[in-house]
Amino acid sequence: MAAPTTREDVLRMMNEKEAIEIEISQLTEELTQPGMPGLKEPLVDREGFPRADIDLFHVRTLRNRLACLQTDHMQLMKKIEDGLYLIHSAVIPEKEPEGTSSKPAAHQPRMQPFALIDEVSAGSPAEDAGLKVGDRVVEFGTVNISNHNNLQAVAEVVKSHVDQDIQLVVQRTADLVKITLRPHTWSGRGLLGCHLKPL
């Protein structure tokens, strides 16, 4: 697929990304519920025989679908990253309805940073994921500049994704960096070990 040519194209891909993330979350939840083998637990017993306590065909189907979605998500993130780079370079024009004049100041693209990471604790999930002080958050799972609600939406995503991966896009100096963050309990406070300040 060629690089997107408008913000509208990037927003469409971001909607596709969100739909994929929802399905990934649902599959992960099903695979990790009681009685299921999780994402990587072996499907054979210690003697090497297929386990009789689970539906092997169903589990393999779920895991295969999850793997395909993760691949699609990674490819889509790359396309979005390319589009974001062009947008931040002011290369992509805004689509305007016929008969209207262009007013760039009236637009606030969803891909603009909405939060600054001003603290990352040592040994925390945030540090393990590769987040750094000074990173500007562009995407936090399904949260972006248009819906973060003074970062309340970020807190909701974190609470609903304990021990599950959340895909982030952060702006680090002139680069856009993809981060996979997994909230979980650790020796410090909270589930992330970092502090976000709204921009």
Distance set, CA 78 to CA 2, 15, 198 (Å): 12, 14, 26
pLDDT at 45 over 50: yes
Looking at the predicted structure, is the pLDDT value of residue 86 above 60? yes
| CA 181 remoteness from chain centre | 8
* pLDDT (0 to 100) of residue 114: 92
pLDDT at position 83 is 72
pTM of the model: 0.47
Q: Assess whether pLDDT exceeds 70 at residue 37.
A: yes
Q: How far apart are CA 154 and CA 191, in angstroms?
A: 12
Across 50-71, average pLDDT: 91
Give the separation between CA 107 and CA 176, rounded to whole angstroms.
21
Residue 59 has pLDDT above 70, yes or no: yes
Higher per-residue pLDDT: 12 or 196? 196
CA dihedral 153, 156, 160, 161 (to 10 degrees): 60
Higher pLDDT pick, 91 / 121: 121
Q: What is the mean pLDDT of residues 90-100?
A: 45
Residue 54 to residue 124: CA distance in whole angstroms: 35
